Amino acid sequence: DTAVSQTPKYLVTQMGNDKSIKCEQNLGHDTMYWYKQDSKKFLKIMFSYNNKELIINETVPNRFSPKSPDKAHLNLHINSLELGDSAVYFCASSQAGTDYGYTFGSGTRLTVV
């Protein structure tokens, strides 16, 4: 299936831990994103990468570090997790210069306890 897939789907962890969320797309898109959906269900961009290069970094704490080993993968590593990091994190992809819009993954629900 052509899609944006992210793992894990659920993540429960203690404050202070370090965790990673993985994302892969097989759509051949050149741009990938991480979005955060807070408790009020509001979606906001965190990062975007185009061909492995960071394009957007939206005032996200430096505890969040995206890594793109190739244009099909964009992983999100979070250090020293805090209670306020609890949210749903969505990966997405698009093809720059086209009219096809965005494709989103199914989300990772992170709960920090």
Partner 1 sequence: KQEVTQIPAALSVPEGENLVLNCSFTDSAIYNLQWFRQDPGKGLTSLLLIQSSQREQTSGRLNASLDKSSGRSTLYIAASQPGDSATYLCAVPILYNTDKLIFGTGTRLQVFP
Q: Verify binding: residue 44, partner 1, rule CB under 8 A.
A: yes
Query: Which range in 17-25, 41-49, 63-71, 75-83 contacts partner 1 by CB under 8 A?
Result: 41-49
Q: Verify binding: residue 107, partner 1, rule CB under 8 A.
A: yes
Q: Verify binding: residue 106, partner 1, rule CB under 8 A.
A: yes
Query: Which range in 16-24, 67-75, 78-86, 102-110 contacts partner 1 by CB under 8 A?
Result: 102-110
Using CA atoms, how far apart are residues 58 and 63, in angstroms rounded to an integer?
13
Q: Which residue has the tokens 């992210």?
A: 6
E strands, the chain, are 4-7, 10-13, 19-25, 31-37, 43-50, 53-57, 64-70, 73-78, 87-94, 103-104, 108-112
Residues 57-86 that bind partner 1 (CB under 8 A): 58
Using CA atoms, how far apart are residues 18 and 55, in angstroms rounded to an integer?
24
At its nearest, how many Å lie between partner 1 and the CB of residue 16?
27
φ, ψ dihedrals at 84, nearest 5°: -70, -10
Residues lying near partner 1 in the complex (CB under 8 A) are found at 31, 33, 35, 41-45, 48, 50, 55-56, 58, 90, 92, 94, 96, 99-107, 109
